[in-house]
Amino acid sequence: MKPRLIALVDLDDSLFQTLRKCPPDVATHDLSVMAVDRQGNPLSFATPRQKNWIDWLQESTVMVPVTARSFDALSRVNLTFEYAVAAHGGIILRGGMLPCQGWHDRMTAAAAFSKTDLDRLAHLLHEAAQACGEDINVRTISEGSLPLYLVAKHVDPAHEAALHALAHDFRSDVPSDWTFHINGNNVAFLPPSLGKHHAVAALLPELRSVYPDLPVLGLGDSLTDAPFLALCDFIAMPGRSQLAGHALHGLLPT
């Protein structure tokens, strides 16, 4: 089928989610596995409605994943694509899973500039996580030898409120031009050079050149998706998402 749209789509919690986040009224045997872990075990699932949406996107659009997933995690997603943005914009892929060397060089230079702050914040965040008495994992997310950003998650997602409290207490140590991101059991701190919107802005001219008459649809669930969505002609978001909650706040009857 001839594509009718360019679709820039966030993946996790936009097209599919973990089993814990799946609607309770959908039977497990009706879910479709959309991603696996490093051991090949099912990790992310789509409901029948989501799967129909995904199938339509794959058949009718130039579908471009725009994801926080790493290169490795994206390779374990059950989707086909020609272009992608991964690692919060740290990677641009062409030809399926082929990294763009020019973008890699740009990110390498930016990472060298932010390395001192990244190392300092990683140390402080580790100390804060240990001091709070909660079981919180803190990691510096890298692609190969390229350090990109910090992420913290509570081992028990039911205690994500403790993670949020830690993040807010830690925020004063973070430079004002960094992105501070909370969505569920996920807290991330991104240097100013990193962001999905930076990579999308670099990739969009090529996409518009190859497909000059196709409108661009953006899909995302998180507040950090908003900057890349603003670059699109049209936007969409899951009805029960962080982004929809903010966009519709005060507009719906209580």
> Which residues pair with residue 234 across a beta bridge?
217
| Confidence check: pLDDT of 245 > 70 | yes
pLDDT digits (tens, 9 = 90+) for 195-232: 999 999 999 999 999 999 999 999 999 999 999 999 99
102 vs 252 pLDDT, higher one: 102
> Which residues pair with residue 12 across a beta bridge?
16
Residue at token pair 């507009």: 251
| Confidence check: pLDDT of 253 > 80 | no
| Confidence check: pLDDT of 56 > 90 | yes
* Domain ranges within the chain, ordered by starting residue: 5-90+195-247, 114-190
The span from the CA of 141 to the CA of 222, in Å, is 19
What's the rounded mean pLDDT across residues 182-187?
A: 84
pLDDT digits (tens, 9 = 90+) for 72-111: 999 999 999 999 999 999 999 999 899 999 999 999 999 9
Does the domain formed by 5-90+195-247 have CATH 3.90.209.20? Answer: no
User: What average pLDDT is seen over the chain?
Assistant: 92
- The answer to whether the beta carbons of residues 8 and 217 sit under 8 Å apart is yes
What distance lies between CA 220 and its chain's CA centroid? Answer: 9
The span from the CA of 10 to the CA of 16, in Å, is 10
Amino acid at 214: L
Q: Which pLDDT belongs to residue 250?
A: 67
- The answer to whether the beta carbons of residues 157 and 174 sit under 8 Å apart is no
How do strand 234-236 and strand 216-219 relate by DSSP bridges?
Answer: parallel
Reading the block at residue 211, the tokens are 């497909």
Q: E-assigned strands of 71-160? A: 84-86, 91-94, 98-99, 136-143, 146-154
Tell me which range, 102-106, 153-157, 174-178, is most confidently predicted by mean pLDDT: 102-106
CB atoms within 10 A of CB 250: 6
